[in-house]
Amino acid sequence: MPAVLRRIPAGVISTVAALIVWQIIGSVGPLAGDSFATATEAVSALWTLLGESTFWLAFWETIQMAAIGFAISIVIAIPLGILIGLSRFSYRSSKFAFDFMKVIPPIVIIPIAILVIGPTLAMGIALVVFANVFSVAIQTAYGVRDADPVLLETMRSYRMGLLQQIRYARLPSAAVQIGIAMRLAIAASLVVAIVAGLVGGAGGLGSFLALTQSSGNADDTYAVILFMGAIGVALSRLLVRGQRRVIFWSGR
């Protein structure tokens, strides 16, 4: 491999290669036709979309659903998790119930949510909360239970109160778990906000995507999905970096 090529990052080369393969498949390959957009068509459609205010408005709605839903679930789940984690009995009592709710994907309750709340931003927010609250709470409780027993005994012999226990022993030990849970929850919030729009008609990028597909506009459909992928990659990079900085004492 020539030296010039070697200095280009691997990701750039493979991305360009993937785009070329995509272009060939779509223009001369088996998928040539109206229902498949080539790389150039998708990218130019995305370029046009990026100049349209309706697209940015849809993006903003998705961000709103994800952010508000995430904030609500954190405000509920972390205090709840701390409470549950303080006693062995309450932890073991709620573990099963929370694990049960945790594995039920929010997409399952969309039909009921449409009935009860209607296809609105509020429904998207409710789905985001449902998606996060159980997993963040039980993860927090696990972290709280995981506090160093020697440290707790020591604090007890110094007659430090419950609040101090929470502040100096329980929370620092739970911080790593909470950090991981929050990172997963942020990523999940964005996905759920998009799904709420796509399947439940809650608005935002998801509904935008549903509209481009149902009107048979392949170029725009691929453009929106490209955009979602780019946002997803950027977000996950940001989250990994952010977590490393905030919880610097954990190797993870």
Question: Which of the ranges 6-14, 52-60, 121-129, 139-147 carries the binding residues for another protein, by CB under 8 A?
Answer: 6-14
| Closer of 69 and 169 to another protein (Cβ) | 69
Q: CB-wise, 169 or 205, nearer to another protein?
A: 205
Give residue for tokens 């039909």.
111
Helix (H, G, I), strand (E, B) or coil at 50: coil
Q: Which distant-in-sequence residues (6+ apart) come within 8 Å of 77 by Cβ?
A: 132, 133, 134, 136, 137, 140
**Considering only residues 2, 3, 89, 157, which one is a binding residue for another protein as defined by CB under 8 A?**
89
Q: What angle do CA 124, 59, 40 make, to 5 degrees?
A: 130
**HEC string for 145-188:** HCCCHHHHHHHHHCCCCHHHHHHHHHHHHHHHHHHHHHHHHHHH
Q: Any contact of residue 210 with another protein (CB under 8 A)?
A: yes
Please tell me the distance from the alpha carbon of residue 218 to that of residue 40, in angstroms, as a whole number. Answer: 12
Question: In this chain, which of 92, 167, 241, 244 binds another protein, going by CB under 8 A?
Answer: 92
Among 6, 7, 35, 163, binds another protein (CB under 8 A): 35
Of the candidate residues 45, 129, 194, 247, the single one contacting another protein (CB under 8 A): 194
Interface with another protein includes 110 (CB under 8 A)? yes
Distance CA 82, CA 150 (A): 19
Query: 3-class SS at 30?
Result: coil
CA 171 to centroid of chain Cα atoms: 24
* Residue 20 or 153 having the CB closest to another protein: 20
Give the interface segment with another protein, choosing from 47-55, 147-155, 156-164, 220-228 (CB under 8 A). 220-228
Q: Which residues bind another protein (CB under 8 A)?
A: 10-11, 13-15, 17-18, 31, 35-36, 89, 92-97, 100, 103-105, 107-112, 114-116, 190-191, 194-195, 198-199, 206, 209-210, 212-213, 216, 218, 221-222, 224-225, 228-233, 235-236
